[in-house]
Chains A and B, each alone.
Chain A
Amino acid sequence: MVEKWLSGGFLLVSLCYAYFATDLNFGILAKPKAGFMPNIVGTLAVILCSINLFVTLKKKSESGKEDGIDSSTAFNILLFLAGTAIYIFALDKTGYFIATTLYLFYLLKVTKTSGYLKPAIVSLSVVSAFYVCFEVLLGVVLP
């Protein structure tokens, strides 16, 4: 299942890439321009991705077996991605220390770590260590 969707996704990306590559000037063989390589790569990718999608669909129908992600894993991935997206957004608003402490606490809960006190202490101490390491020792400016 994943292979099928990914094969379709790559074909779609290749089609978009090849389409936008046509906007760029190809030049001539003796004097190639910015669109030279993108046009070659895009066209090749569309051809190969089409063959691959065909082969993948055929393979699935022949074997009858499906590779997939179970619902609990899919839910966890969704939680992870949503949390990460919010964290990146919050980094700019609340700063590194607060955002990262909350994010780490959230991830510890996503991985079903029991209790609240222990994850909170771990989050606070780990992020404090990172903060000291980056901001104080390495002199990196964090948001």
Chain B
Amino acid sequence: MTMLFQGFATSLEFQNLLAALIGVTLGTVAGVLPGIGISGTIALLLPISYGMNTLTALIMFSGIYYGAMYGGSITSILVNVPGEGASVVTCLEGHLMAKRGRAGAALAVSAIGSFIAGTLGVVGITLFAPLLAEAALAFGPPEYFSIALLGLVVLTNLSGKSPLQSFIMALVGLMIGTVGIDPMTAISRFTFGSTNLAKGLDFIIIVMGMFGLGEVIATMCEKQTNVRVEKVKSRDLYPTMKEIKRSISPIFRGGFIGFFMGLIPGPSATISTFISYAVEKKLSKNPDEWGNVGAVEGVAGPEAANNAASASQMIPLLSLGIPFTSSAALLLSGFMIHGIQPGPMLVSTQPIIFWGLIASMYIGNLMCLVLNLPMVGVFASLLRVPMNYLMPIVAVITLSGAYVLNFSLFDLYILMAFGLLGYLMQKSGFEPAPLAIGAFLGPQLEQGLMQAMVICDGSLWNMMTRPLAGVMLWLTVILIVGVILKKVVSLIWRKQGGD
């Protein structure tokens, strides 16, 4: 508790509060812009943290994270365009509310729900992350390898339409992770004599290309249809007492659903919103409103679930150093730019950073609420900025930011290639998140696997008989076999149906 108070003392310093404000504002602005999403937002804004001290930069990143999440709900409610998967459900009832003149109330409920659930999530991080980090100190390479492998397999199972394509994407990510000099043996791999490739492909460049530039290409090069933005009147901004009463229980239910779902690797924030929506629809006393005029519970529950899940996703990131979502991986890369390696040692070696960051999450959440409620109209007006001006500027920001990372022109060619790949993946239904996580986890997975094989004398069975590693590996096997069986059964059913 003392450490948390020290964290608050550090976070409440003027420059850190300013960083949180800038982060939340930039995050909301970028989150409002159609299609960019949280990952794209963080990728685009990473370079602006250069020159800041470490904690200030990390506080700004968490502000961006929260701001972008809220920005996504603005577009869902006002334009019916979800910025990312987790905002899809908000469109269903939120936009219907907006159409009958309750846009302000929907946005306010969304902001309040996000704040309450986000704060609940941060309380969870405060309680569980240090405990998990302490337990993780006893983990060896087999445990790390098995946790990372299970996370990757769960992610590929849950992402996209086809688990097969998601598995391929994860493998492509792992391939990318092996390019460069092998840190264990110092042997150059897949570099073809290029000195630029010897240091490997920078993960941040890859995600900036796939999520940032890919989206820019899509918006800039495709024919755009004008969006119709629902107006927000200041007198309609605040929810009525009845709407508040109807929202309280869904917010807490959504918060708990989101928090526990967020601990599962993969797009758990999106899944938690669907679960929360289904639960609220089932429990609703006004079933006629759902899908007709818009039910406020359908905004409050999913938005709370989304924010709580996004907060609890930080637990494995901070305590194990393993990101299970692309936005968490980007956040991690933001930490790494400033020389911070999240993981079990972070609490003991950098307590000021760890607790300062946690305290800043409380502050960031509150700032998000304070800033967004009165400024909803201003953020919504951003949707009217012409895309033909905005996207070229975003392209220049991305390229400038990518150059500044390593001062390498070669990186810009890599960025361009991954931008095109990201666009093509968008068009074809291949999921980019497993590729990004695969590329990030690849080196850790490889190191863990090689050390684990040495420790276990080359026997996979030995690894599977270790308590924690064994459970994780068996779960991984069950998941893979489950996917294959499901596919075989569906093929048999289709064949029988066809006959």
Contacts and interface: CB of A to CB of B under 8 A. Distances in A.
B198 to A, nearest CB: 14
Contact of A112 (B164, B178, B388, B453): B388
B100 interface: no
B164 A52 contact: yes
B240 interface: no
A67 B429 CA distance: 10
Nearest to B185: A34
B429 A13 contact: no
Q: Chain A interface mostly helix, strand, loop or mixed?
A: helix
Contact of B409 (A13, A30, A51, A143): A143
B172 A31 contact: no
Contacts, number: 171
B424 A49 contact: no
Contacts of A88: 399, 409, 412-413, 416
A92 B407 contact: no
Contacts of A42: 175
A108 B392 contact: yes
A140 B404 contact: yes
Interface string B393-435: 1011101100110010100110010001001110111100000
A103 B393 CA distance: 10
Interface in B340-382: none
A132 to B, nearest CB: 12
A100 B396 contact: yes
B14 interface: no
Of the listed residues A6, A25, A37, A77, the one surrounded by the most CB atoms of chain B closer than 10 A to its CB is A37
A34 B430 CA distance: 29
Interface residues of B, number: 59
B458 interface: yes
Given A122-B389, A127-B396, A24 B168 contact: no
Contacts of B450: 32, 36-37
A42 B171 CA distance: 8
A30 B458 CA distance: 4
Interface string B159-200: 000101101100110110010001011010110000000000
Nearest to A29: B458
Contacts of A138: 48, 50-51, 404
Given A42-B175, A51-B164, A34 B221 contact: no
Interface string B186-227: 010110000000000000000000000000010011110000
Contacts of A67: 427-428
A57 interface: no
B446 interface: yes
Nearest to A40: B449
B388 A2 contact: no
B3 interface: no
B391 interface: yes
Interface string A40-73: 0110110011011001000000000001011011
A110 B458 contact: no
B221 A76 contact: yes
A140 B50 contact: yes
A60 to B, nearest CB: 11
A103 B397 CA distance: 12
B189 A24 contact: yes
A37 B446 contact: yes
Contacts of B217: 77, 80
Of the listed residues A33, A67, A80, the one surrounded by the most CB atoms of chain B closer than 10 A to its CB is A80
A6 B397 CA distance: 28
Contacts of A44: 171
Contacts of B168: 10, 45, 48-49, 52
Contacts of B430: 3, 6
Given A30-B453, A42-B175, A104-B396, A3 B420 contact: no
B201 to A, nearest CB: 13
Given A17-B175, A42-B175, A112-B388, A107 B220 contact: yes
22 contacts: A5-B424, A10-B172, A13-B175, A28-B458, A33-B185, A34-B185, A36-B449, A38-B178, A45-B168, A48-B164, A51-B164, A52-B162, A80-B220, A81-B420, A84-B399, A88-B399, A88-B413, A107-B392, A110-B220, A127-B396, A140-B50, A143-B403
Interface of B: 48, 50-51, 162, 164-165, 167-168, 171-172, 174-175, 178, 182, 184-185, 187, 189-190, 217, 220-223, 387-389, 391-393, 395-397, 399-400, 403-404, 407, 409, 412-413, 416, 420, 423-425, 427-430, 445-446, 449-450, 453-454, 457-459
Which are the 6 A-B pairs with shortest beta-carbon distances? A30-B458, A29-B458, A107-B392, A76-B221, A3-B428, A111-B388
